[in-house]
Structure 1
Amino acid sequence: MDASAPGNAATDVSIIIVTYNGLAITRQTLTAYSRALASERTHRYEMIVVDNASQDGVAAMVEREFPEVRLIRNEANLGFAAASNIGYAASAGRYLLFSNPDIEVHDATLPMLIQQMDHNPQVGACTPYLRLVHTGGIDWGAHRGFPTPWAALTYFTRLGQLTRRCRPLARVFGRYHLLDRDLTQPHEVDVIRGGFTFIRRDVFEQAGRWDEDYFMFGEDIDLCYHVKQLGYRIMFYPQAIAEHYHGMTTGLKEHSQGMSQVDPAARQRAYDAFYDTMKLFYDKHYRKRYGPVMRALVFAAIDVKKRLGRHGGTV
């Protein structure tokens, strides 16, 4: 399952997982990947875990229980983007799968994505149907439009949700999560989740890799923005399915706070990053387009939203 040199054509997919604590959910994720890869006879894979100085023994667990996984230990918590780039530098696959340690793939998930990408060279990156374990519904974070001021406004005011059953209205008011799309059919999206990004190696390199200005959150929007600028499509393939234990790695979702092993300091850092990276992305890509007045309004709205949610510590 391993390969020796980056870009080795013999390796089809490099699965790169960044960990920071979360021993139990990481074990569950690696078990699912190992089971899926063991059932595969057509493609070659490698798994790489980059541990961001976890304190709960997750790195030792990976080393002890999953000897087939290449483990990289960082001496500090470098964040998702920087750690993922380290994993990429050690990888060999022609495709890269950046996965959170709270994902559970099915045996057919990866072969289906490889088949789609092999037959559609204009597609630079893709996602399966990420199914939220706690609801059984779609993870909308893997099915997004770009967060223009209009898209963000209609999302935070819930206009998108209120109009989603009427496709013409959803096309206008539901752009943040592309609520007018048929979730049973493959189609193009703007943004997929960083926690499950299946991307061509050469496209990832052309797009500039993960932008390490983002500690966590926002880097997926930024990467997808660059992929689109290169002229590639980003696709949603609902026939491929993976499960997402959403919030287990950050503790920011209300349903996961009782189960997540994230410590309070890390949860607070994740909460701040969730909102601060909105401003970072805006300044990188929208500041010149929309002008100073719109920027001031957008930043004020972000600050209000952040303050309103601070008491519960969820997003």
Structure 2
Amino acid sequence: MKVSVITVNFNQPGVTEELLATIPAIEDLEVIVVDNGSEKDASSQLQAKYPTVKFIRSEKNLGFAGGNNLGIKQAAGDYLFFVNNDTEFTPGLVEKLAEVLDTHPEVGMVSPKIKYFYNKGMIQYAGYTPLNYYTGRNSCIGLRENDEGQYDHITAPTAYCHGAAMMVRKTAIEKAGIMNENFFLYYEELDWGEHIKRAGYQAWVCTDALIYHKESVSVGKNSRLKEYFMNRNRILFIRRNAPFFKKIIFYFYFILMVVPRNVVNYIKAKNYNYISALIQAVWWNLTHNKNSKDLGYH
């Protein structure tokens, strides 16, 4: 089966080049880099160093979902491997994930174990627990645990794949549709996972496959942008996916519990500009259709 690796670059040609240097030359492997409206298009310089890579340029920043959707439209692979540009491949990564899809036709998407690039002994992801629709929260299995083999040799269903590295069957995309672009940043892979599961497929994790992640290079570990989209899209995910009764409970929980708690935390941390980002996030959901393409961030 042919695999297409798809990654999105936004103003980080050096980071993207570091990723490309770790992708092995494998038969039937296509590599696609989507430049997502970077201020300076570095595709020609990268193309000179990596002549077999396919470069796609968007003049506008379309967000994580929009950038990856451009890659989907031009990918020739039977399996599409979406990776953040701030990741590093390890030996056998592509083959191990592809083998899961080869041998388990019920699997629509699969993620590897993810470990922190700057602390290679620490786990970021070894699966997800199901999302609680009442709170809009779930847990990342293994998060910040030292890797002592406790999640080795797991190839099994998980609630969600991780957006930093997920291989998706093309036929599952054809049935479920591409990513919803109005998320822009965060929660889009969870929303996509819900739609792929509704199309009749499962999400799995394969911890024998490993990738390293530099995490949050694009938006910063903490930023007003991140706070806005994390809160906005948490609400949006529930609006798009939760049953009616659970939606109502979530709305009360978010307004009465989450908003006051977050405001107190912002004040304690002296992140006063995060308060307006939170208010914007709530207001967007009160004033926009759940499929609105107006991102509402300013």
TM-score by length of 2: 0.79
Q: Which amino acid aligns with 2:191?
A: D
SS of equivalent residue, structure 2 residue 122: coil
Partner of 1:14: 4
Q: Deviations over 1:184-225 (max 9, x none)?
A: 222211111122110100101211110112111110000111
- 1:277, CA displacement in angstroms? 0.6
Q: Which amino acid aligns with 2:6?
A: I
Whether contact under 8 Å (2:22, 2:89) holds in the other structure is yes
Partner of 1:188: 157
SS of equivalent residue, structure 2 residue 82: strand
Partner of 1:138: 123
Could you tell me how far apart the structure 1 residues matched to 2:224 and 2:42 are? 21
Partner of 1:165: none
1:177 aligns with 2:140: yes
Could you tell me how far apart the structure 1 residues matched to 2:258 and 2:70 are? 31
Could you tell me how far apart the structure 2 residues matched to 1:231 and 1:106 are? 31
**Equivalent residue in structure 2 for 1:303, among 256, 259, 265:** 259
- 1:149, CA displacement in angstroms? 4.2
Partner of 1:28: 18
- 1:285, CA displacement in angstroms? 1.1
Could you tell me how far apart the structure 2 residues matched to 1:15 and 1:203 are? 16
Q: Which amino acid aligns with 1:224?
A: G
SS of equivalent residue, structure 1 residue 187: strand
Could you tell me how far apart the structure 2 residues matched to 1:306 and 1:245 are? 26
SS of equivalent residue, structure 1 residue 139: strand
Whether contact under 8 Å (2:163, 2:189) holds in the other structure is yes
Q: Which amino acid aligns with 2:55?
A: L
Partner of 1:125: 109
Q: Could you tell me the percent identity over the aligned residues?
A: 24
Whether contact under 8 Å (1:287, 1:295) holds in the other structure is no
SS of equivalent residue, structure 1 residue 137: strand
Q: Which amino acid aligns with 1:210?
A: M
Whether contact under 8 Å (1:252, 1:271) holds in the other structure is no
Structure 1 residues 295 and 26: CA distance shift in structure 2, 3 A: same
SS of equivalent residue, structure 2 residue 231: helix
Whether contact under 8 Å (2:37, 2:57) holds in the other structure is yes
**Equivalent residue in structure 2 for 1:277, among 214, 233, 239:** 233
SS of equivalent residue, structure 1 residue 276: helix
Could you tell me how far apart the structure 1 residues matched to 2:258 and 2:3 are? 37
Moved more, 233-242 or 57-66: 57-66
Alignment size in residue pairs: 261
Whether contact under 8 Å (2:15, 2:85) holds in the other structure is yes
SS of equivalent residue, structure 1 residue 15: strand
Q: Deviations over 1:219-245 (max 9, x none)?
A: 000011112222322111111111111
List gaps (5 residues or longer) in structure 2: 143-149, 275-298
Partner of 1:166: none
Partner of 1:85: 69
Higher strand share: 2
TM-score by length of 1: 0.75
Moved more, 270-279 or 53-62: 53-62
Could you tell me how far apart the structure 1 residues matched to 2:155 and 2:135 are? 22
